[in-house]
Amino acid sequence: MDDAAAIIVIGNEILTGKVVDTNSPFLVAKLRDLGMPVKRIVTIPDEIPTIAATVRELSARFQHLFTCGGVGPTLDDVTMAGLAAAFDVPLERRPELEAAIRKHFGPETQASHLKMAVVPANATLIVSDSLPWPAVMVGNALVLPGDPGLLRRKFLALGERWRRAPFFVRRVYVLHEEGALSPHLDAIDLEHPGVALGSYPVYDRRDYSVLVTLESKDEARVDGACRSLCERLDPRLIVRVE
């Protein structure tokens, strides 16, 4: 199993263009800050069989899984049922979740609100003082809401659980044409195993034409690869190094 993360974005509203997904970019950025690589992002509809099949596949491939959306009180919120099917367990109402939901909504509590207390039988509840009710983990999947504000609040309350050794990144801004730059990158890739290279051309700027990134969890390797690259290039074409 790959010690990396996958993200499942669940919602017909994303696939029909009614809503723009901002949750997966947020999670990618925050997980990278925590040293956690993300290797898969999938967007799927609010369909129990599709959710079950996707969760089943990705939870077996990656150690860490994050689902976004489909956990509210309305009829299209079927993520919990999909998760239960993925792990072949029944759904059950958890009294501690129900109590927290009733406390949060008070006299305005509706039967539909209590739908959010129904979770897969293998779910683990994670309590945080900054959250109105416990977060839900099902297997290796953290279940997050689709609302961006709520998702951010929940992930920021719990994110330290996923902290790993940090990534080190160096950025080299150059005026090289990308095709001419390619042989140099090939050489660095051979000379410095364990350093991930990226080449990103831009066409609407005058100050640089390609951004090269060098990345590893070994800072000395990144610095060595960055020096080697800069030594290969014409210094007049190096705009800056960060």
Domain ranges of the chain: 2-162, 168-241
Question: Residue 145 and residue 143: Cα distance in Å, rounded?
Answer: 7
Does the pLDDT of residue 156 top 90, yes or no? Answer: yes
pLDDT single digits (tens) 22-80: 999 999 999 999 999 999 999 999 999 999 999 999 999 999 999 999 998 998 899 99
What is the predicted pLDDT for the residue at 176?
87
CATH, domain range 168-241: 3.30.70.2860
pTM, whole model, 2 decimals? 0.92
What is the predicted pLDDT for the residue at 1?
87
Query: Are 2-162 and 168-241 in the same CATH fold?
Result: no
Question: Residue 12 and residue 45: Cα distance in Å, rounded?
Answer: 5
Query: Among 3.40.50.2300, 3.40.980.10, 3.80.10.10, 3.20.20.70, what is the CATH number of 2-162?
Result: 3.40.980.10
pLDDT single digits (tens) 78-89: 999 999 999 999
Average pLDDT, the chain: 95
